[in-house]
Amino acid sequence: MTVESEQSIQQYREQVWGELIKIARPDSRFHWDFSRFIPDFPGSDRCSDFVMGLDAYAQLGDRQIFVTPDNSTEDLRRRLILDDRPFLMTTYGLRRGFVLVDPADVPPGEARYAATLDGADHYGRALSLSELAAGRPVGMLVTGGSAVSRNGIRFGKGHGYFDFEWALFSELGLVDGGETVIAVMDDCQIIDTDLPGEPHDVVVDWIVTPSRCAGTGRGPRGPGAIRWDLIPGSEFEELDLLDELKEVLDMGQE
C-alpha cells in the first residue's frame, strides 16, 4: 500500500470516527477507543433484519457463515443463535484462533449472552485450523468496520484482520469467490465515493446499514493468499495460529 493512500485512509477513518462517537456504544474494556474495537450503534438490529433477509442467507444451505467479533455484529450473532444457525467467529485479534458458536450449546434465554464476546468465551468451542479446514465451506462472511466506500472498499481498525481471515479461508479452500461478503455499518460510516482499493482488499458485496441494504456490484474475487511478506514486524507475527497454518498448508501440498 502506498504511503499516500495509507494517509488518506487514516483521514477517512478519523473523519468517520468523529461522527461515530456521537452515536456509538462504548466497549466494556476499550470505552471509546475505536482503534481497538468496532463499536455497536443504534439500529444494528435492523442491519440483522437486512442480512437475514438476503437471498444469499436463504440459499446458504449447508455452507457456513462467518461473523467477525465486532460489537456491531453482536445483534446478528444473537439472531443467528435464535435462528438455530451455528456460526464461525474468531477470538478478538485472532489471538486464540477460531471459535464455533453452536446454538445447541446455548441454553434457552441466553442467546443475547452468547452473542457477546464474553459469552462466546463461555459457550463457543475452540476450533483448530485443521478442524476448520476439514469443515464445510464458508458461504457468507459478515464484518463490521470503521468505514466503507460506495464501491465496497472497506477499512477496519487498521490492522487488516478481515483481509487476513478471508485470505486464510481461501488458502484452506473454504471460499471460492462465490461467497457473499457483507459489511454491517452505520450510515455515517459510508464514504460517499468510489475508491480504487488495493489488490488484497476484500471488496464487499453488500453494505448494510440501519436504513438500507445496498449491493456494490463488485467484480470477480480471489483466489486470496496470505501475504507472508507483510507479516514480519506486524502484530500477526505473534499469532500462535501462524505455525498451525504453515503445518496445515504443508500437509495440503503433500
Partner 1 sequence: MREHHESLRASVRRGLEKLALEQDLSDSTPIPPERELMERFDVSRGTLRSAIGDLVSAGLLRTEQGRGTYVNKEAQARLLVWDRLADVARPDSRFHDDYRQFVPDFVGRDACDEAVQNLAAWKNAATVFIAPDNSLGGLRLLALEQGKRVLVPTYGLRRGFVLLEADLIPPEQRPLAATLDGMESLGTCVGVAAVPEFIDGVDLMVSGAVAVTTQGIHIGSESRYLAVELAVLTQLELVSHRTPLIVTAHDCQVLEVDMELSTVSCVASTVVTPTRVLHCGAHTGRARTVSRTDERRVLRLVNAAIDEEVS
Binding positions for partner 1, rule: CB under 8 A: 26-31, 37, 91-93, 95-96, 108-110, 112-113, 116-121
Report the nearest approach of partner 1 to the CB of residue 29 (Å).
Answer: 5
Report the nearest approach of partner 1 to the CB of residue 167 (Å).
Answer: 22
Sign of CA pseudo-dihedral 125, 129, 135, 138: positive
Report the nearest approach of partner 1 to the CB of residue 122 (Å).
Answer: 8
Smaller CB distance to partner 1: residue 26 or 86?
Answer: 26
Smaller CB distance to partner 1: residue 30 or 228?
Answer: 30
Smaller CB distance to partner 1: residue 90 or 216?
Answer: 90
Report the nearest approach of partner 1 to the CB of residue 164 (Å).
Answer: 17
Report the nearest approach of partner 1 to the CB of residue 158 (Å).
Answer: 17
Smaller CB distance to partner 1: residue 39 or 139?
Answer: 39
Smaller CB distance to partner 1: residue 70 or 171?
Answer: 70
Q: Which residue has the cell 494517509?
A: 7
Smaller CB distance to partner 1: residue 28 or 130?
Answer: 28
Report the nearest approach of partner 1 to the CB of residue 144 (Å).
Answer: 15
Q: For the residues of the chain, what is the DSSP string, one character each?
A: --HHHHHHHHHHHHHHHHHHTTTPBPBTTTBT-TTT-PPB-TTHHHHHHHHHHSHHHHT-TT-EEEE-S-GGGHHHHHHHHHTT--EEEE-GGGTT-EEEE-GGGSPTT-HHHHTSHHHHHHH-EEE-HHHHHHSPPEEEEEE--SEEETTS-EE-SSS-HHHHHHHHHHHTTS--S--EEEEE--GGGEESS-----TT----SEEE-SS-EEE------------GGG-TTSGGGG-THHHHHHHHHHHHH-
